[in-house]
Amino acid sequence: MDIKAGRLVDPCSTRLTKTGAWRTFVPVFDQDKCIKCSLCEIYCPEGCIHQVDGLFVPDLDYCKGCSVCAHECPRMAISMVLEEK
């Protein structure tokens, strides 16, 4: 590692750390109930829920399983499920 250059750190580089490993419960999205309000994406503290091919999906590499998305979903389309690891 070039620390001298590294005194200054590259942008967006925490992507290297997959905080998904912290998770106990995983959000499961019922896409049929989803009304595409995007509140889950807006509120997600990890910023890891995005629209992929029109559907909102969490990036499980980073999702810590906080359940804010499930709690805020106006259609209760997201449920938190104990994750088998």
Closest CB to other proteins among residues 34, 60: 60
Residue of 78, 69, 77 lying closest to 33 (CA atoms): 77
Q: Which is nearer to other proteins, 11 or 54 (CB)?
A: 11
Three-state SS for 41? Answer: helix
Select from 34, 50, 57, 79 the one that contacts other proteins (CB under 8 A).
50
Q: Which residue in 26, 29, 56, 65 binds other proteins (CB under 8 A)? A: 65
What's the CA gap between 81 and 28, in Å, rounded?
7
What distance in Å separates the CA atoms of residue 44 and residue 46, rounded to the nearest whole number?
5
Q: Can you give the binding site for other proteins, defined by CB under 8 A?
A: 1, 3-4, 6-19, 22-23, 42-48, 50, 59, 61-62, 64-68, 70-72, 80
